[in-house]
Amino acid sequence: MRNTKQKKLVYDIIYSTYDHLDARSIYNQAKLEIPSISLATVYRILNELCDLGKVLRIATDNEDNFDRIDTKHAHFICSKCNKIIDIFDYTLKYKMPDNIVYNYDLVFHGICNDCKRNEVK
């Protein structure tokens, strides 16, 4: 992967926040720094970063979101509002087969507390 100013900027935008940004949000931020960058370029860079394991793609019902990969954590996706919440404190009790696991993605789906509170009203 060739390092370009655009690629570094997209990477830095993702790693500057703990939010789970979508491509359009990343594009809007990148345009502030490089006005000539296109949305297609941002998508191409995001795909490359995901393929290289430098960024995590989180698929929701609406669109893909992107997350930094600096600490291993799971995600919770609300099925009502599509909010993505990081989950750092979880325990799995599962006997792994004799395979070698080098990576995993764990996503929980359900209804977040905000949406649950709104249902009660």
Domains 5-68 and 74-120 equal at CATH topology level: no
Q: What angle do CA 90, 59, 113 make, to 5 degrees?
A: 50
pLDDT single digits (tens) 2-57: 669 999 999 999 999 999 999 999 999 999 999 999 999 999 999 999 999 999 99
Distance CA 90, CA 2 (A): 37
Could you say which of 3.30.420.10, 1.10.10.10, 1.10.10.60, 2.20.25.90 is the CATH number of the domain covering 5-68?
A: 1.10.10.10
Across the beta sheet with 74-78, the strand order is 84-87, 74-78, 107-110
- Residue pair 56/107 in contact (Cβ under 8 Å)? The answer is no
Q: Would you state the CATH architecture of domain 74-120?
A: 2-Layer Sandwich (3.30)
Choose among 79, 69, 76: nearest CA to 107: 76
The full set of domain ranges for the chain reads: 5-68, 74-120
Model pTM? Answer: 0.81
Measured torsion, CA atoms of residues 16, 19, 20, 22, in degrees rounded to the nearest 10? -80
pLDDT single digits (tens) 103-115: 677 899 999 999 9
